[in-house]
Structure 1
Amino acid sequence: MEAKKTPQADLSKKTGMFLNLGLAVSVGLCLFAFEYKSYDDRNLKDLGSVTDEFEELLDIPITEQPPPPPPPIEQPVIQEIPDEVEIEEKIEVNFDVDVQEETVIKEVIIADAPVVEKADEIFDVVENSPEFPGGMEAWNEYLRKNLKYPTQARRMGIEGTVYVVFVVNTDGTVQDVELLRGIGGGCDEEALRVVKGAPKWTPGKQRGRPVRVRMRLPIRFKLG
């Protein structure tokens, strides 16, 4: 047999009210706990009757130290120097010189000391450079007639400029032919051969005298 409840005795309808009421009580207790203050009066002392002696302290004046005395000034020692004795010297000048107005004084010309040049000295720069007979056009014509393009360089397609250095002696002959920069393929050897077999050059001059001069010339190889 089921138990029957009256609507007034049903508490499930009032759960919201009880929840809000419990929440309000909890918040109130928390605020009370934070705001609660307690004071301990057992160890407090009354400082009103304590007599202080601060006013009885004497003002201590600042001690002023006198400045140090200045260092003693050393007086310079004055030595007595006897008067200098004036010595009179008699200088006799003999003006008995027979000068004629027609005397002509030659102007002295100071010439530069002669420059001693070594016979075997090789110059890089001179006043008059060596020249090939007929000039550079004749030199280029000599190269066209005597220079042969190496077969190896032609087959390998090598072309470029070979730089040769040599010495032109005082008699115009060519000496000490060396390779300065080459391109290979037989072109270097061919350039040296042609320069060594060149005819005599006009020698270079320094101060009007023939001297040995070092020359540097390019020889170009180009496939036609």
Structure 2
Amino acid sequence: MFLNLGLLVSVGLVLFAFEYKSYGDGFLKDLGSINDEFEELLDIPITEQPPPPPPPIEQPEIKEIPDEVEIEEKIEVNFDVDVKEETVIKEVVIVDAPVVEKADEIFDVVENMPTPPGGMEGWNKYLQKNLKYPTQARRMGIEGTVYVVFVVNTDGSIQDVDILRGIGGGCDEEAMRVVREAPAWEPGKQRGRPVRVKMRLPIRFKLS
């Protein structure tokens, strides 16, 4: 019991010590009133300074230079040409230079292309009569189209026969033979003159 009473008293003293407040009796110091003349400082007049004058422009001095040589001779122009109003000036006609065609030049396309005797119908009849199916191609079952390229000369004769695309089996050689042995064609013409033309024709081989 005494221990509990002692604890209670000590706790009460501690709380009292924390809760106790004391105020001093000191006097506030009178700082007085401050008279700052801010308005007078703000009313300072602004002084304007004039800009400096521009620098003077120096005018170049013009000196008169005497002529060293005086031209005494006068040039007289005498227009002693009689121009008649009735004079008619002929109109200048510009003629195109003639087109020079080389004799050895080979054309791919001309105004009038070469044609075989009897036209294409006659050409097909010639192939059916003279074209022979090669034995090797027949045995191997080769068929297709051989493209032959050749040149038709100005007299209609055929030369420079070659294969553009072949199928083999002896068909290429047979197509070239038939074209070489063909009768003369009607030559191609450019500007009314016969010229050499390169032709490309297909020859079809088909097993019946």
Q: TM-score range by the shorter chain?
A: 0.5 to 0.7
| Cα distance between partner residues in 2 of 1:97 and 1:121 | 55
Give the corresponding residue for 2:194. 210
| Cα distance between partner residues in 1 of 2:197 and 2:142 | 32
| Cα distance between partner residues in 1 of 2:75 and 2:154 | 69
Structure 1 residues 97 and 184, CA gap change in structure 2 (3 angstroms): same
| Cα distance between partner residues in 2 of 1:214 and 1:107 | 44
Offset of residue 92 of structure 1: 4.2
| Cα distance between partner residues in 2 of 1:139 and 1:76 | 101
Q: Secondary structure at the match of 2:82?
A: coil
Q: Are 2:165 and 1:181 equivalent residues in the alignment?
A: yes
Say which of 107, 132, 136 aligns to 2:116. Answer: 132
Q: Which stretches in structure 1 are left out of the alignment for 5+ residues? A: 1-74
Q: Secondary structure at the match of 1:171?
A: coil
Q: Secondary structure at the match of 1:165?
A: strand
Offset of residue 205 of structure 1: 1.3
Give the corresponding residue for 1:120. 104
| Cα distance between partner residues in 2 of 1:173 and 1:79 | 94
How many residue pairs end up in the alignment?
Answer: 148
| Cα distance between partner residues in 2 of 1:215 and 1:191 | 14
Give the corresponding residue for 2:204. 220
Q: Are 2:82 and 1:97 equivalent residues in the alignment?
A: yes
Structure 1 residues 118 and 96, CA gap change in structure 2 (3 angstroms): closer
| Cα distance between partner residues in 2 of 1:205 and 1:76 | 86
Structure 1 residues 211 and 76, CA gap change in structure 2 (3 angstroms): farther
Q: Secondary structure at the match of 1:141?
A: helix
State percent identity of aligned pairs: 72
| Cα distance between partner residues in 1 of 2:206 and 2:58 | 96
Give the corresponding residue for 2:155. 171
Offset of residue 211 of structure 1: 0.9
| Cα distance between partner residues in 1 of 2:58 and 2:143 | 94
Give the corresponding residue for 1:162. 146
Q: Secondary structure at the match of 2:96?
A: coil
Query: What is the TM-score with the length of structure 2 in the denominator?
Result: 0.61
Give the corresponding residue for 2:130. 146
| Cα distance between partner residues in 2 of 1:137 and 1:165 | 19
| Cα distance between partner residues in 1 of 2:89 and 2:60 | 59
Structure 1 residues 173 and 81, CA gap change in structure 2 (3 angstroms): farther
Which deviations, in whole Å up to 9, do the C-alpha atoms of 1:19-53 show, x marking residues without a partner? xxxxxxxxxxxxxxxxxxxxxxxxxxxxxxxxxxx
| Cα distance between partner residues in 2 of 1:157 and 1:206 | 43
Runs of 4 or more, structure 1, over 4 Å off, are: 75-83, 89-93
| Cα distance between partner residues in 2 of 1:198 and 1:81 | 100
Question: 1:161 is matched by which residue type in structure 2?
Answer: T
| Cα distance between partner residues in 1 of 2:145 and 2:168 | 10
Offset of residue 115 of structure 1: 2.2
Q: Are 2:97 and 1:110 equivalent residues in the alignment?
A: no
Query: What is the TM-score with the length of structure 1 in the denominator?
Result: 0.57
Offset of residue 206 of structure 1: 1.6
| Cα distance between partner residues in 2 of 1:155 and 1:195 | 24
